[in-house]
Chains A and B, each alone.
Chain A
Amino acid sequence: MSNTLPRFDAREASKYFFRHGHTGWLGLRFHDLGENWVELELPWREDLLGEPSRPVLASGPIISLMDMASGMAIWQTTGTFTPVATLDLRVDYQRPARERASVLGRVECYRTTRSAVFVRGIAHDGDPADPVAHVAGVFMTIAADPRQKDNPGSGGQP
């Protein structure tokens, strides 16, 4: 049954994911993908600033960017759109993003077990060698792929 489902594709899914809700409000965009990673873009926007004195993106939207890129990296890696819940997400800020710069979030899924999934990634503003932040997270699978069967919709934050 499951092999009749199309493999999850972050590029295709982005067309729907970012139309509404929190990620739509942030204006997230798909940027790039690999076998086990996804890169999304958080465009620079005046009303997402963290400080009155400098035109620099707040850190809150960067967490949202990395959380979303994490989920999509997991689905890209497993190939299935299995709902996951964030258990723990850590962000280490290396430096502020440059003024009026968009931030790119690239997250890789480096290990999946039956119940837990581990991700790590960087946020950068053009040069991946000079990141704005590093992230590490652990996610838990909370249900089967909703396309496979009726999803009871258990708890968890995407």
Chain B
Amino acid sequence: MADIELLSAYARSLGITVVGQEGGLPLLSVDFGPNVEGRPQHFHGGATAGLLETAGYAALRTVLHKEGREVGMKPINITVQYLSAGKSRPTFALGRITRLGRRNANITVEAWQDDRERPIASAVMNILMA
């Protein structure tokens, strides 16, 4: 699947790229830079949330594509947990589909930097499909 289908204009503009796959799901990353900086030398919480949300959509798009489902997606909500400061290094994110129904999907996403076992943020998203 080409990057362009997984990433919105916003995501590309922020600097998010697809850097790999895990278990068939896209692994996303964004480098540190002025676009994502909040407090000096740290990720802005909003940029981290944007990466998490983009990874959640990318995971769902990938699964729906595999199943041959051509549906629109409507965001219902996202809850972001901030676990530790995002430092001036690349951040990675991977979404997992916790539940995929006919009309809705529940997705969990984690973001990390150097150590996969120490996520800097996580999110739960509910998405309606029509």
Interfacial residues, chain A to chain B (CB-CB below 8 A): 20-26, 46-52, 57-61, 63-68, 83, 85-93, 155-158
Chain B residues whose CB sits within 8 angstroms of the CB of A21 once the complex forms: 34, 37-38, 44
- Residue tally, chain B, CB below 8 Å to A: 37
- What are 22 A-B residue pairs whose CB atoms fall within 8 Å in the complex? A25-B14, A26-B46, A47-B10, A49-B9, A50-B10, A57-B10, A58-B9, A58-B10, A58-B50, A60-B14, A64-B44, A64-B47, A85-B85, A87-B81, A88-B82, A92-B77, A93-B75, A155-B85, A157-B48, A157-B86, A158-B42, A158-B45
Q: Name B's interface SS.
A: mixed
Chain B's nearest CB lies how many Å from the CB of A144?
A: 15
Q: Are A83 and B39 in contact (CB under 8 A)?
A: yes
Chain B residues whose CB sits within 8 angstroms of the CB of A68 once the complex forms: 44, 46
Q: Are B47 and A46 in contact (CB under 8 A)?
A: no
- A-B interface pairs (CB < 8 A), number: 132
Interface residues of B in 10-68 (CB under 8 A from A): 10-14, 34-39, 42-50, 53-54
Chain B residues whose CB sits within 8 angstroms of the CB of A157 once the complex forms: 38-39, 42-45, 48, 82, 85-86, 121
Chain A residues whose CB sits within 8 angstroms of the CB of B11 once the complex forms: 58, 60
